A and B are shown apart, each in its own frame.
Chain A
Amino acid sequence: MSRPRRAFGQVWPRVAILVVLVLAWWAVYATGLWDRVLLPSPASVWTALWSNLSGAGGLLVAAERSALRLFLGLAAAAVIGTPIGLAMAASKIVQRSIGSLMVGLQALPSIAWLPLATLWFGITERAVFFVVVMGATPAVAIATAASVRLVPPTLIRAARTLGSRGGRLYVRVVLPAAVPGYIAGLQQAWALAWRALMAAELIVTGARGLGHFLERAGAVFDTPLMLATMVAIMLVGIGVDGVFTLVDRRVRSRRGLIPSG
């Protein structure tokens, strides 16, 4: 397939679903069956999105703030979760103790931490950060442990017969072999971190992120702005996911784990 044709194949399904959604939405709006204050028209949402986009209090600045928080929270979760996961993979005792704890924490919606976090840190940036880290760390740890455990034993045996052992075997063979699984884990973790962040920003309004926009629009009954903010949250999500998917594809196609092209 030629390059433009492939690009076209990439784009049209995405455009199509958008068009279908907007048309359906507009159709429901046009019938007037739903109160037009509760369900604003696509056009008014577009206007709200456009007019609130730029400026010091705009969606772009808020999205930037939220994205930065996501990045820092995810980075912290990786720094904390990765060694925990490696320890879980290395030791059955750690797996049974801390591993079980991680499963338990993962079952806990991270927003459940917020009441406690605001008591500890006040209604502050630190409380938001804490909630995000608590949301993503267990996912990173569990995925790290799984990716190391799933390294093919024959690769390790082969490396040992070549004379590799101990720490060098671990760094040069086990860890590189675990990379695809680890990236998949991070991809899961960012989504959890993003949800935790949006929930926390809804409540910790001083944080002035996208979540704050949603809260403010709700307070003044501005449904177009609510929907516009939700669109913005999704767009940031699609963007971040795109970055991870790109990295994931590169790593996996280099190893022949997906057919290239």
Chain B
Amino acid sequence: MSSVPSLRVVGRPEPTSPKLSLRSVSKTYRQSSGELVRALDDVTLDVAPGEFVCLVGPSGCGKSTLLDLIAGLERPDAGQVLMNGRPIAGPGPDRAVLFQEPTLFPWMSVIRNLEFALGLTGVPKADRRELAMHWLSKVHLSAFASAQPHEISPGMRQRAVLARALACQPEVLLADEPFGALDAQSREVLQRELQTVWLETRNTFVFVTHNVREAVFLADRVVLMSARPGTLVAEHRISSPRPRSFEDVLLAKVVVDVHDHLLKEVQKVVATEEGVRPGLA
């Protein structure tokens, strides 16, 4: 990140031992056409324990790739991805992932989905039901515990996925535009609920979105990525007190500020490069 000095401007002292740490990470894909795509280029990012980081950027900027690397679903070509200072070897229940499409297993009821996940983390069978109900009640789904996934709305499904993730009590939560496919109203309800549960659990959170408003509402820190190859361009700390509210005029102003700040950084990047890359602003 040293190549982008602006990142340090609003920074606070680096925590001594970050929960997550990406060190000069690069990742290249070969598309089915055979073309090589540099998804991530020399990305360095630290996430402190209990910090809520939102990654914002245009589609195709490598946000999802970055998340896959932390989840352990992919390996970097170069650089290191560390959790608690140790390289991430593969996926594991200590890092739960919320994908854009709800990933409940369709042949299991909602509560069985949670019990299945709890079983994988080693919770004894006798304790699973009670724990599952506890986390379902946190997202207001107690009444739908025995429903099949297709019987509840997309928003409820995503809440069930959130409950399943939280039930495993992961050290890190990763989310890849989890509310992107929902209608505006359900999205706002879920954003509020996520804030409420997160204020209780305080997991380290890396949340990918292309929605600045969502990012400002949720995050301690918003990090902007640029596209092709994906790099970190700028970041902005959100110090507004929690719980935050969408009706809050001050927060709305922060959204505008962050938007402007990010826009300026994008223009700087564009200006320093030869080719103009449309679609970033």
Q: A and B bound?
A: yes
List residues of A whose CB falls within 8 A of some B CB: 154-155, 157-165, 172-173, 176-177, 179, 254-257
Q: A255-B148, A255-B150 are in contact. Are A160 and B91 (CB under 8 A)?
A: yes
Contact B93 A179 (CB under 8 A): no
Contact B107 A172 (CB under 8 A): no
How distant is the Cα of A76 from the Cα of B239 in the complex, in angstroms? 67
Instruction: Find the residue from A154, A163, A176 having the highest chain B CB count within 10 A.
Output: A163
Q: Which residues of B contact A254 (CB under 8 A)?
A: 107, 148
How distant is the Cα of A88 from the Cα of B61 in the complex, in angstroms? 36
Q: Which residues of B contact A160 (CB under 8 A)?
A: 73, 90-91
Contact B99 A154 (CB under 8 A): yes
How distant is the Cα of A184 from the Cα of B185 in the complex, in angstroms? 39
Q: A154-B103, A155-B105 are in contact. Are A161 and B150 (CB under 8 A)?
A: no
Which chain A residue shows the least CB distance to B149?
A: A256
How distant is the Cα of A255 from the Cα of B168 in the complex, in angstroms? 24
Contact A255 B93 (CB under 8 A): no
Q: Which residues of B contact A157 (CB under 8 A)?
A: 73, 97, 99, 103
How distant is the Cα of A242 from the Cα of B97 in the complex, in angstroms? 42
Q: Mark B88-110, 1 if CB is under 8 A from A, else 0.
A: 00111101110101010111000
Q: How far is the CB of B96 from chain A (nearest CB, A)?
A: 7
Q: Which residues of B contact A162 (CB under 8 A)?
A: 93, 96, 116-117, 120, 164, 168
Q: How far is the CB of B117 from chain A (nearest CB, A)?
A: 5
Q: A155-B105, A162-B117 are in contact. Are A256 and B148 (CB under 8 A)?
A: yes
Contact A163 B150 (CB under 8 A): no
Instruction: Find the residue from A158, A162, A165, A172 having the highest chain B CB count within 10 A.
Output: A162
Q: Mark B140-180, 1 if CB is under 8 A from A, else 0.
A: 00000000111100000000000010001000000000000
Which chain A residue shows the least CB distance to B101?
A: A154
Q: Which residues of A contact B72 (CB under 8 A)?
A: 161
List residues of B whose CB falls within 8 A of some A CB: 71-73, 90-93, 95-97, 99, 101, 103, 105-107, 116-117, 120-121, 148-151, 164, 168
Q: How far is the CB of A259 from chain B (nearest CB, A)?
A: 10
Instruction: Find the residue from A161, A164, A254 having the highest chain B CB count within 10 A.
Output: A161
Among A154, A161, A164, which residue has its beta carbon within 8 angstroms of that of B96?
Answer: A161
Which chain A residue shows the least CB distance to B122?
A: A163
Contact B95 A161 (CB under 8 A): yes
How distant is the Cα of A177 from the Cα of B107 in the complex, in angstroms? 8
What are 7 inter-chain pairs, A to B, with CB distance below 8 A? A157-B99, A158-B97, A161-B95, A162-B96, A172-B116, A176-B107, A177-B105
How distant is the Cα of A63 from the Cα of B217 in the complex, in angstroms? 70
Among A154, A165, A179, which residue has its beta carbon within 8 angstroms of that of B107?
Answer: A179
Q: How far is the CB of B52 from chain A (nearest CB, A)?
A: 19
How distant is the Cα of A255 from the Cα of B112 in the complex, in angstroms? 14
Q: Which residues of B contact A155 (CB under 8 A)?
A: 103, 105
Contact B121 A256 (CB under 8 A): no
Q: A161-B71, A161-B91, A161-B95 are in contact. Are A255 and B107 (CB under 8 A)?
A: yes
Contact A176 B105 (CB under 8 A): yes
Nearest first, the 9 closest Cβ-Cβ pairs linking A and B are A256-B150, A158-B103, A163-B93, A255-B106, A161-B97, A160-B91, A163-B120, A161-B91, A162-B117
Q: How far is the CB of A181 from chain B (nearest CB, A)?
A: 13
Q: How far is the CB of A261 from chain B (nearest CB, A)?
A: 13
Q: How far is the CB of B241 from chain A (nearest CB, A)?
A: 32
Which chain B residue shows the least CB distance to A255?
A: B106
Which chain A residue shows the least CB distance to B116?
A: A172
Q: Which residues of A contact B150 (CB under 8 A)?
A: 255-257
Instruction: Find the residue from B72, B91, B93 having the highest chain A CB count within 10 A.
Output: B91
Q: Which residues of B contact A255 (CB under 8 A)?
A: 106-107, 148, 150
How distant is the Cα of A158 from the Cα of B117 in the complex, in angstroms? 10
Contact B121 A163 (CB under 8 A): yes
Q: Which residues of B contact A158 (CB under 8 A)?
A: 97, 99, 103
How distant is the Cα of A256 from the Cα of B99 in the complex, in angstroms? 20
Q: Which residues of A contact B92 (CB under 8 A)?
A: 161, 163
How distant is the Cα of A176 from the Cα of B92 in the complex, in angstroms? 21
How distant is the Cα of A157 from the Cα of B117 in the complex, in angstroms? 13
Which chain B residue shows the least CB distance to A173?
A: B105
Q: A255-B150, A256-B148, A256-B151 are in contact. Are A163 and B91 (CB under 8 A)?
A: yes
Q: Which residues of A contact B90 (CB under 8 A)?
A: 160, 165
How distant is the Cα of A193 from the Cα of B92 in the complex, in angstroms? 45
Q: Which residues of A contact B93 (CB under 8 A)?
A: 161-163
Q: How far is the CB of A147 from chain B (nearest CB, A)?
A: 13
How distant is the Cα of A257 from the Cα of B150 in the complex, in angstroms? 8
Q: How far is the CB of B4 from chain A (nearest CB, A)?
A: 30
How distant is the Cα of A215 from the Cα of B81 in the complex, in angstroms? 73
Q: How far is the CB of A165 from chain B (nearest CB, A)?
A: 8
How distant is the Cα of A194 from the Cα of B148 in the complex, in angstroms? 36
How distant is the Cα of A84 from the Cα of B153 in the complex, in angstroms? 39
How distant is the Cα of A165 from the Cα of B92 in the complex, in angstroms? 9
Which chain A residue shows the least CB distance to B168?
A: A162
Instruction: Find the residue from B72, B93, B95, B150 having the highest chain A CB count within 10 A.
Output: B150
